[in-house]
Chain A
Amino acid sequence: MNSFWSITLATLAKDIRLEWRSKDALNAMLFFSLLVVVIFVFSFDPLAEESRHIVGGLVWVAFLFAAVVALNQTWARELRNQVLDAYRVSPAPATGLFIAKALGNFILVSLLEALMAPLFVIFYNLHVLGPAWQLIPVALLGTWALVVNGTFFAAMSIRTRSRELMLPLLLFPVSIPAVIAMVAATTSILTGDASAHFYIVLLLTYDVVFTTACLGLFGTVLQAE
């Protein structure tokens, strides 16, 4: 068990180190996130009365697009020079690789969200009418929901044509319940109209179910030629 976590953490550390070294991709992603927010601001009038009701949806759609950009490069470094073969040939467990990649993506997407969220607050003059602290579990659980399946489907897309298209194509349908929950929870917290409790529980269930499924089935995906 010790070596499992040591491998996972070593992989995560390696990914963070590599991402930090070539900040190009990271900077481009940050800028893309900014652009998405700006486009939304121009498309959906921030001064309108109802803006508080739709911001929940806007925020999460923006996060979703940013997440897809981040997820698409999950395995890019492993595919260059076929490093993935080195991993497949080693005794290291597939689940360790998966968790490391998912955690790495989680950190990356959270970083993007941390940039975008304040911008939404600023542009849309958001005051949170409901219990604001609840936004934290919603953000954490929601981001993990996108990232865990996204990392899995990114691996599945490795062996398909039109790889960058395949990822969102596979991810979006399966993510719908999570997106409904995220958006509804955020909206209820922002407007204070209803309790987000049910949606948080639903997100937790979603996360547990799909994390288990991903961990169980990742070995099959990794070993596919």
Chain B
Amino acid sequence: MKKAFPILAVLTATFLGYAFYLAMFVAPTDALQGDVYRIIYYHVPSAWTAFLLFFINFIASIQFLANAKPSTARAAKWIVIVIGILGFVAPFIPQVKQSLPTGMYPSSVATTAVIIVGVYFLVGKYFPGQNLDILALTAAEVGVVFCTIVLITGPIWARPVWGIWWAPGDIRLTSTLVLWLIYVSYLVMRRFSDSAQTQKLAAVLAVFGALDVPLVYFSIWFFRTQHPQPVIGGGGSIDPRMLHVLLLSWMAFLCFAFLICWTRFRLEKLRREVEEAEALESLLESGGAAESSARAKIPLSRGPR
């Protein structure tokens, strides 16, 4: 896996370069906004990537809390499955379909439900134990970076197009700001915490943050209906050629995000292994007790691979 990294890095760089070329030169100029709109190819993919990463953090945090006891772990798995089934079936029932807000298609709700279940079980399978917490941390950190990009490119885009840096009622930008604030506070809390249970406390905070997001959305949504605001990012249908470039741009961003997350993950994993090895050494120092079995589990030096 490690050998693949340089190759993937080169591929990703190429992909990003290609996406840039498409964004700047191939995509057609917008009828209304001119060339300024091209920032969308950085703004929107960053947003989608950030949301995906925060979503992964949320799933990892919930699992981390649930896995504290076998009974809660099992209960959580069943709840997720139920959510998946309900979320997949319910939107197609006529009564439910009618009560969906405009813009939310039944198929997207169904897909989201399936994705939730899928991500939950994938994360559970490939990131056991401590790795779950490392994944949560990594996703939060990289997510904050991409979220920062969204918050910077948003106003840069808004200013020439609408003459304002920020629209308080813009639901997407404001929700993104709150999400950014929540996750920055998450990272600060992790850094400042002296507790032995920092990981659990951070997971608790992530849950609070996740509960908050829909409430933020609704509060701003209603506020906006009372105070109509320009919608940064443009509503309405999008030219298929632009959509094509947008999606490709997003793919490139995802590859890039994946590489960064992978690097950060490995770094954190190594850091923790070093810490454990040091603690283990201090444990064995004064001719300690039956720790030889523990010694076998943690290689104190990495042999040739």
Query: Known contacts A169-B188, A174-B209, A176-B212: does B204 contact A217 (CB below 8 Å)?
Result: yes
Residues of A within 8 A of B212 (CB): 173-174, 176-177
B211-230 interface with A by 8 A CB criterion: 211-212, 215-216, 218-220, 222-223, 226
**Contact at B222–A199, with CB atoms within 8 Å?**
yes
Q: 1/0 contact trace for A197-209 toward B, CB 8 Å?
A: 0110010011001
Cα distance A149–B204 in the bound complex, in angstroms:
12
Q: Are A205 and B201 in contact (CB under 8 A)?
A: no
Are the CB atoms of A170 and B189 closer together than 8 Å? yes
Residue A82 at the chain B interface, CB threshold 8 Å:
no
The count of residues in chain B whose C-beta lies closer than 8 Å to any C-beta of chain A is 32
Which of A161, A181, A213 is within 8 Å of B208, CB to CB?
A: A213
Taking a contact as CB atoms under 8 Å apart, the answer to whether A224 and B223 are in contact is: no
Binds A, one of B35-43, B47-55, B124-132, B192-200: B192-200
The answer for the CA separation of A1 and B187 in the assembled complex, in Å, is 38
Q: Which of B205, B215, B220 contacts A170 (CB 8 A)?
A: B205
A202 contact set on B, CB distance < 8 A: 215, 218-219, 222
- Tell me the bound Cα distance from A94 to B8 in angstroms: 50
Q: In the complex, what residue of chain A is closest to B210 when comparing beta carbons?
A: A213
The answer to whether residues A159 and B216 also contact, given A169-B188, A210-B208, A210-B211 and a CB cut-off of 8 A, is no
**Known interface pairs A159-B201, A220-B200; A206-B215 also in contact (CB < 8 Å):** yes
Return chain B residues, CB-CB under 8 Å to A170. 185, 189, 205
Q: Which residue of chain A is the closest to B225 with respect to CB atoms? A: A198
- Given A159-B193, A159-B201, A166-B192, decide whether A177 and B182 contact each other with a Cβ distance below 8 A: no
Complex interface: chain B residues within 8 A of A205 (CB):
215
B147-182 interface (Cβ within 8 A of A): 178, 181-182
| Nearest-neighbor residue (CB-CB) of B204 within chain A | A217
Contact A198 B181 (CB under 8 A): no
Q: Are A225 and B209 within 8 A (Cβ)?
A: no
Q: Is the CB of B195 within 8 A of A224?
A: yes
Query: Closest CB-CB distance, B151 to chain A, in whole Å?
Result: 14
Within the complex, which residue of A160, A174, A184 is in contact with B223, where a contact is CB–CB below 8 Å?
Answer: A184
Interface centre among B211, B218, B219 (most CB of A within 10 A): B219
Question: Quick check: B188 and A220 within 8 Å, CB to CB?
Answer: no
A160-B192 contact in complex given A173-B185, A176-B178, A180-B223, C-beta closer than 8 Å: yes
- A176 contacts which of B65, B205, B211, B216 (Cβ < 8 Å)? B216
In Å, the complex CA distance between A57 and B223 comes to 14
The answer to the question of B260 belonging to the interface, with a C-beta cut-off of 8 Å to chain A, is no
Contact of A156 among B201, B215, B219, B223 (CB under 8 A): B201
Q: In this complex, which of A172, A180, A205 has the most chain B Cβ atoms within 10 angstroms of its Cβ?
A: A180
> Do B207 and A217 have beta carbons less than 8 Å apart?
yes
Q: Which of A161, A172, A199, A209 contacts B211 (CB 8 A)?
A: A209
Size of the A side of the interface (Cβ < 8 Å), in residues, is 33
> Per a CB cutoff under 8 Å, which of B178, B181, B204, B211 touches A221?
B204
Task: Give the nearest-CB partner of A169 in chain B.
Answer: B185
Contacts of A162 in B (CB 8 A): 192
The tally of CB-CB contacts under 8 A between chains A and B is 98
Which of B181, B194, B216, B220 has a CB less than 8 Å from the CB of A160?
Answer: B194
Which of A149, A166, A223 has the most CB atoms of chain B within a 10 A radius of its CB? A166
When the two chains form the complex, which single residue of A156, A174, A194 contacts B226, counting CB atoms closer than 8 Å? A194
A161 to B65 Cα, complex, angstroms: 23
Enumerate chain B residues within 8 angstroms of A159, measured Cβ to Cβ. Answer: 193-195, 197-198, 201
- B192–A181 CB distance below 8 A: no
Closest to B213 in A: A177
Known: A173-B178, A174-B182. A224 touches B216 (CB 8 A): no
A177 with B218: CB separation less than 8 A: yes
Cβ < 8 Å to B, chain A residues 138-165: 149, 156, 159-162
| Least distance between B50 CB and chain A CB atoms (Å) | 15
Which residues of the other chain, A, contact B188 by a CB distance below 8 angstroms?
166, 169
Q: Which of A160, A172, A181, A209 contacts B195 (CB 8 A)?
A: A160
Complex Cα distance, B214 from A206, in Å, reads: 10
Smallest CB–CB gap between B228 and chain A, Å? 13
Q: Is the CB of A173 within 8 A of B181?
A: yes
Are A209 and B215 in contact, CB atoms less than 8 angstroms apart?
yes
Q: Name which residue of chain B comes closest to A218, CB basis.
A: B204
What separation, in Å, do the CA atoms of A76 and B182 have in the docked complex? Answer: 26
6 pairs of A and B residues whose beta carbons are closest in the complex:
A159-B195, A173-B181, A224-B197, A177-B215, A177-B219, A180-B219
- List 8 contacting pairs A-B, 8 Å CB cutoff, sorted by A: A156-B204, A159-B194, A160-B193, A172-B181, A180-B219, A209-B211, A217-B207, A220-B200
Given A159-B198, A166-B188, A184-B222, 18 more A-B residue pairs with CB atoms under 8 Å apart are A156-B201, A156-B204, A160-B193, A169-B189, A173-B184, A176-B212, A177-B178, A177-B216, A177-B218, A184-B226, A198-B222, A199-B219, A202-B219, A213-B211, A217-B207, A220-B65, A220-B201, A224-B196
